[in-house]
Structures are given as C-alpha cells and as structure tokens.
Chain A
Amino acid sequence: MERFIRESAAIVEVELIKLVRDPTEIISRAVQPLLWLLVFGQVLAQVRGIHTGQLSYLEFITPGILAQSVLFSAIFYGIAVIWERDLGVVHKLLVSPALRSSLVFGKAVAAGFRGLVQAVVIYLIAFIMHVSLSLDPLKIFAVLAAVMLGSGIFATFSLIIACIVKTRERFMGIGQLLTMPMFFASNAIYPLDIMPGWLRVIAQINPLTYLIDALRGLMITGGESVHGYLVDFGVMLVVFAALLFVAVKLYPTLAE
C-alpha cells in the first residue's frame, strides 16, 4: 500500500507541476462555464419554462455546469495520454517497476486536482452572480470530493478510450461524440422527470447524473439530492473502481 501511494503521488506531483507551470488550459476551460452561466443560464431563467422546484433556474444549473466543466476537462485527458505515448513517456513509465495501478490511479487523481480548479472558478462565478451557495465547510469538502471523484471517473474513461483508439485524430472524434450526449442525457440543465422515458433510462445509467445530483444537494442552499448521497457517491465509487480495473488492464497496451 505504501508503494502504491508513493508511486501514485509521484505521478500526481509531476502532473501538478505541469499544471502550475502552464495553466493555459485551465484558464481557457473556465470560459465555457462562464458562458453557460452568464448567457444560457440567465436567458433560460427569464423563460421560466423548466420547473426546477424551489431552486431558481440559475441555482439549478450551477452544479450541472460544474459537472459539465469537470466532464469536458477530464474527457480529453486521453489526448494527453496519447501525446505521452507518441513522445515515449508512456514507454518509460511502463518499463519502470511501478505498479500499473499506481500509474493509472495517479493520472486519475491528477485529473481530480484539475477538476478542483474548475470548482473554484465556478464557485467564484456563481458567487458573483448571486447564486445561493451553501458555505457549510462539510458540504464544501463533500463538493470537492465529488468533483475529484467525477474527474477521476471521466479521466479514467478517457484513458480507456485512448488505449483503444491510440491516435489523437480518432480520439478527438470519439471525444466529441461522447461528451455532448453524456451532458444532454443527464440532469445538468433539466430535471430527470421532464425527460422522455427512453432518455431518463439513459440518464439513470449515466455517472454524470449522480455527480450532478450530489453537487446539487451539496452546493446550493435548499438544494437536495434526489437519489441520496449514499447512492450518488456509491454509484460513482463503483463506476470509478470498474473503470480503474479496465484501465489498468489496457494501459500497458499503449506501449505495444
């Protein structure tokens, strides 16, 4: 276990150094949620066409936009892995005696830290826009945990896709193909109960739905988790474990 932690921490450390040294990607990714909240959120809030219970529409979509931001920044993590493969960095890692699980888990945790930056950005935007955010420290801690877990899920999913497609061109196509349907087939911008039956079924097996559900209950004053936090975090943990298992098996194929 000590070895697993040490090796994972080494991968995380390197990724964080890169993030601090070149925050361009994080800054550019902050623009999209800004647009969603500032333009889409405010316009739809005027329409009042979507019933969001006791939450205003802006309050309703803020957790959804955070989850979207986490999804979009993590899902393209596979591109970086393919880039590392093309450079030979993956080969160097895989020739080392480090556990494959440490390498994959380290990547997922590093993606989690990137997700945290998104969370800070969205909290700031939401605060400026007078969204009624819960400032309970325990809830904020739980939001950060959910964001890290969600980032880990989507980054690991992305890594699996990268291991299968192995080229940046193919990955870009598949990445685009996956992100928007995952976003729209979730409770990010409308509640589950207004969805047609077939879409609700898809939304129920979409891990993004559980991330948003947890965030909605934790982030917003008066917000609640429809499924319950135990289900939300339980589903995310199971999905993360399953994806890690698959990614650990596939990651070595990147160097073949």
Chain B
Amino acid sequence: MNSPALESFAIRTSELTRQFGSLTAVDHIGLNIPYGEIFGLLGANGAGKSTVIKMLTTLLSPTSGTAEVGGFDIIRSPADVRRRIGYVSQLVSADGTLTGYENLRLSAKLYGLPKAERGTRIADALDFMGLADSAHKLVRTYSGGMIRRLELAQAMLHRPAILFLDEPTIGLDPVARRTVWDRLLDLRRDYGMTVLITTHDMEEAEELSDKLAILHAGQISVVGEPAELRAGLGADATMDDVFVHYAGGLIHESGTFSEVAQTRRTAHRLG
C-alpha cells in the first residue's frame, strides 16, 4: 500500500506509455483522479482511450511509465487492483445465452462474494438497475439499455471503489442512454464510486463528468471541468467546439476500419 497522501487519488498515472510496434498509442500520460470523481476521457477513435482503460484495468501492460489504481500498482499488484475495480467494456460482455441472474451469479463467484451474501447482493443489484422483473429471462431477449444496466450491475456487484466504463452508452437510444446516466449518478451518490468513463458523446461528457481530459494521438491535449473548457473557447462555445479544438478533428472523420467495425457491431448488438 502507498502512503495516505497518495491514496487520496483513486487513479494516478505517471508517464504512462503503450506502444504497439512503431505506433505509440498512449504517450506519456499523467492523470490524477481523486476518489468520488466522475472523470471523462474523450478523444477520437484511435486516440488511445481504450488503451488507457485496458492498462488501468490490468488487461494490457504498459510499455513504460507507472499507474496506481485504488492505491495499488497495476504491474506489481494486478490482483489487488482487480479486486477494487469494476469494468464495463465497450463490447457487449453480458452473456446472451445466460439469464441476467446467471450472469450476476457468475460475477459474484468470480469476485469471491461470500455465499451467504450472494443472493442479497444480486437482488440489490438487480433492483438498483431496474432489472428485478427480468432477472430470469435470457439476456439475448433484453433491450440494449437493459443489457448495459445488467453490465453495470455486474460491475458494481462487489462494490468496487472505482468503475471503468468504456463508451457505455454507444448504440443506445436516448431514453436508454438517459437511464444509464441516471444509474451512474445514483452509483456515485449511493456508493461514492469513482468513475472513469470514455465517450464520444459530448452531451454525455458534459452531463456526467466532474472533470474531463481530451486525448489526441495518445497525449492529453487538455484537462478541466466541462464549463471551464467551454469558457476557454468563448462565451458561445459548445462541447463539440471543445472537442474539435482539442481532439484534432471531427469525430466522424476518425477511426480505423476495425474500430468502426467494432463500434457498429456493438451498436447492432444493443439494437
């Protein structure tokens, strides 16, 4: 464990870098995210958002630099990091061939929740996400919004200190998206969770984030509160203006073939 001063940050990175061959996907990133904050990570496709999340969730090793999550080093203590985090992938990770309840029971067992508590925790999570009535239906019959809420329920089941959400509302209709936002805000209010969220949606970024960073070509272009960033570009500036200014281009012009294909697959699966 680190000293109490350092532990005041839920996520702390220094010079965090990841290279894939000659490509530097994440380039010497430094982030300090306090506990209880909802932090937005924005950027065009290929800017390095998902790579940052993969490193912080221990799915990918950094090439250089350091990162601590929940007070633990991601390289030296990955198991301690995993116990303290929840993760909702950009992909649709709920198993469609299982019921919502079965998906949650698997998570409960893998996270080592005591047998006596499992039932209550699962019921609470289903209730919290408004899925109690659909608990025993196959997930492949769920709507996109329900699937995302189930994935949030899985991610919060073990009451993690920090939640990582990689484009959680991609492919959702406005009503479903709003419901996911509400549940996220509830999670922060009720459990004090720190949330790191990546998104392309400027409205989402502004609505949810206490603070956000915009990534461009693997580097942080700017960090600040949404209102502060808008004000920095002029009285009438919108979040879209902020994005275009700092992310190096329009959203719809960016992204590789595989990234676009993956995004469309996810959107398609969520209906």
B-contacting residues of A (Cβ < 8 Å)? 3, 6-7, 9-11, 13-14, 17-18, 21-22, 86-89, 91-98, 252, 255-256
Contact = CB atoms under 8 A, between A and B. Distances in A.
B91 A10 contact: no
Nearest to A256: B60
Interface stretch (B39-47, B108-116, B192-200, B220-228): B108-116
B59 A256 contact: yes
B98 A96 contact: no
Contacts of A92: 87, 89, 93, 107, 154
Nearest to A90: B93
Given A86-B91, A256-B54, A93 B110 contact: yes
Contacts of A17: 98, 102
Given A89-B93, A95-B59, A252-B59, 17 more contacts: A14-B95, A17-B102, A22-B97, A86-B265, A87-B92, A87-B93, A88-B89, A89-B95, A91-B93, A92-B89, A92-B93, A93-B110, A96-B82, A96-B110, A97-B82, A255-B59, A256-B54
B188 to A, nearest CB: 20
- Of all A-B residue pairs in the complex, the 8 with the closest CB atoms, nearest first, are A88-B91, A88-B93, A10-B109, A92-B93, A97-B82, A96-B110, A88-B89, A98-B110
Contact size class for B? 20 to 34
A114 to B, nearest CB: 15
Given A17-B102, A88-B90, A91-B89, A96 B95 contact: no
Nearest to B80: A97
Interface string B72-101: 000000010011010101111101011000
A91 to B, nearest CB: 5
Given A92-B87, A92-B93, A98-B110, A14 B98 contact: yes
A86 B262 CA distance: 9
Contacts of B98: 14, 17-18
B91 A95 contact: no
A87 to B, nearest CB: 6
Nearest to A9: B109
Contacts of B59: 91, 94-95, 252, 255-256
B58 interface: yes
29 contacts: A6-B109, A7-B109, A9-B109, A10-B109, A14-B102, A17-B98, A17-B102, A18-B97, A18-B98, A86-B265, A87-B91, A88-B90, A88-B91, A91-B59, A91-B87, A92-B87, A92-B93, A92-B107, A92-B154, A95-B58, A95-B85, A95-B87, A96-B110, A97-B82, A97-B110, A97-B111, A98-B110, A252-B59, A255-B60
A3 to B, nearest CB: 7
Main secondary structure of the interface of A (DSSP, over half): helix
A3, A92, A256 — most chain B CB neighbours (10 Å): A92
A88 B109 contact: no
B106 A14 contact: yes
Given A18-B97, A89-B95, A255 B106 contact: no
A213 to B, nearest CB: 37
Nearest to A95: B87
Contacts of B97: 18, 21-22
A119 to B, nearest CB: 24
B125 to A, nearest CB: 15
Contacts of A91: 59, 87, 89, 91, 93
Contacts of B92: 87-88
A10 B90 CA distance: 24
B57 interface: yes
A53 B80 CA distance: 60
B106 A95 contact: no
Contact of A95 (B57, B95, B265): B57
